[in-house]
Structure 1
Amino acid sequence: MDPDTFRDDLGADVYWRRRMTALIGVLMVVAVVAWACSATGGPDDVRKRGGTTAQETPDAVPGVLPPPEVTPSASWSRTPSPGTSRATGAAGTAVRHRRPGQVCTPRQLVLSMEGQGTVYPAGIRPRFILTLVNVGKVMCTAEVGPRSLEVRITSGPDRVWSSSDCISGETDHVDRLERGVPYVRELVWDRRRSGNDCAADRVAARPGTYVAVAHAPGLRSRKAVFHLR
């Protein structure tokens, strides 16, 4: 046999074996791609396997819906308390209006006191002017007697004198306070101490620095600082 003929037959066998190997590789790639596509099925495949999708759960929605609001009937109304009237503003909230002649509230009043001097020589009695002003919209009434409208004088922590100590006779006095018209009272201190024991002798206050403040229910004036010589 010719040696060249044997060499040619061996080359043909290797050639076809390589072609078959390449063809088998291509077929395997195609099979893998086909299997992957079938494994990622759509919603129909999920339903066939017994699963559910997000669009198939409408029964869970009613459980989170807010309860229906109950609107009161327009014919229902509340009777206002005596002495007040109610009106509804633009925002639908109830607004209370006070009637003239009712008792003044602390919010309607401004209490002030001023001393007539800052230094009082010996023998001169300190004088103070009290004013109580109604800043509300309507006239109101206030108790302005010495027990309700009090002036208190202190020296440091020492309570020296009070206008409500040892008072006698008519002590209650109700005044009508028109809007912006002040109630005015002048008060004079006799430079003697006072206390709960009205039978005790009243001792003269010593020279020094003192502070006077007016008090009323829910109200307090500014301090008036003065000196006794």
Structure 2
Amino acid sequence: MIIEPLGKNRSQSSPPRPRFVGQGRGRARPLRARPFRRRRARFGRALIILPVIIAFGIWLGERDWGFTPQETVAGLAYVIDGDSLRIGDVEIRMADMDAPEMRQFCRYDGIDYRCGLEARHALERLVADVETFCAIREKDRYGRSVARCEAGGVDLGAAMVASGHAVAFGGYDAEEERARAAGLGIWAGEFERPAVWRRAHASPDASPN
């Protein structure tokens, strides 16, 4: 029988242990843990972003704009006036509708009020805290993108005309007729159509909404 010496190191026959970092300063972690976690975090972010991209592509493909968009733009919108907004650095003139100018007044029950400002507030409520998606049809002579837009699943042009905060201007005739019949917005009183008001009040070099 062979008796092993008491001082012999038994670890010589054991497999090497994995190296750890952070020993003595809390829980030890294998050296390879950080790269794995980074890869897992990137993968998790991709799983979150991918459905958004897919949904946006499906939405663009299914939406019938009535024209083939030159390009599309999406994001949080800043409202300029009742029919103009900006997404990023793209200034957009909403197509097929016309809202009262910011300096324009309308009359209700014998009292003049700023219907252009009311139109701006109405559009701000529609785009508040939701992404706006616009399909650009063309550029106007002032370099703005003419587009139809949606926010929260709502056609912005249709909503503005249907609520009486804008008039039809190449589209949305059915919405205008309903607003007129119900006496909504500017149809509750007296007003000039924005195009007529611009011709009477705008300076020669002024651009329309």
Relative to the length of structure 1, the TM-score reads: 0.23
Larger proportion of strand: 1
Higher helix fraction (1 or 2): 2
TM-score by length of 2: 0.24
